[in-house]
Structure 1
Amino acid sequence: MQRKLNMFIWKRHKIQDTYFLMTFCPQMEYLNVEFIKNMNIELFLRNILHVINNNRYEYLRLLCIYITKADDQMIKRLNKMIDDEKLLLDYTIHCELYNIYLKWK
């Protein structure tokens, strides 16, 4: 019997570190990432959602991104990108303090 994992990550150095962890722990349900300065949030989210969709990570359902510049405008941009590119169908996205929470079914 396999266990599902909840995984928390802070302070990653490269996006490849996140992909490695996802490959190494395919049953994680929750991923928490501290955003790296000067990284494009839209590009990061687009790429990670493509990886999730293409590799069928069936357990991962919640992504939390810690970013000090998180605000309602950023949420609107990310929401529009997800909808326009059909990256997720049934999801919610919201901001609490410096965290962006993206949850999907």
Structure 2
Amino acid sequence: MQQYQHSKKLKIGGDEEVISFSETDYEGVHLPHNDPVVVTLQVELFTMKRILIDSRSLADILYKHAFDQLRIPDDQLRPVKTPLMGFAGEMVHPLGSIDLSVVAGMSPR
């Protein structure tokens, strides 16, 4: 098994932990590649698979259908008055803003 190392470092409490990938993480990926990193995280009580990590984005957007699957009541959303520019250049009015707890780390064995 060959291990690939990502060039970014994750800061944890003053220490640095290397984020690395094994060959099994690259199944279906044709190397060399310039694809985004996609991860799985536990958000609130649900496991969300294939989360796109986009370091160029200033906002984390969660679409309504994904939010609905978390089964969080809409009244938990904080009002947002500032519209966003949509991916196709259109003006989009967010339904609201929310802080979600996220668990990241090694999965239990």
Q: TM-score range by the shorter chain?
A: under 0.3
TM-score (norm 2): 0.25
Q: Write 1 or 2 for the structure with the bigger share of helix.
A: 1
Q: Whose relative contact order is higher, 1 or 2, with alpha carbons under 8 Å and at least 6 apart? A: 1
TM-score (norm 1): 0.26
Bigger Rg, which one: 2
Q: Write 1 or 2 for the structure with the bigger share of strand.
A: 2
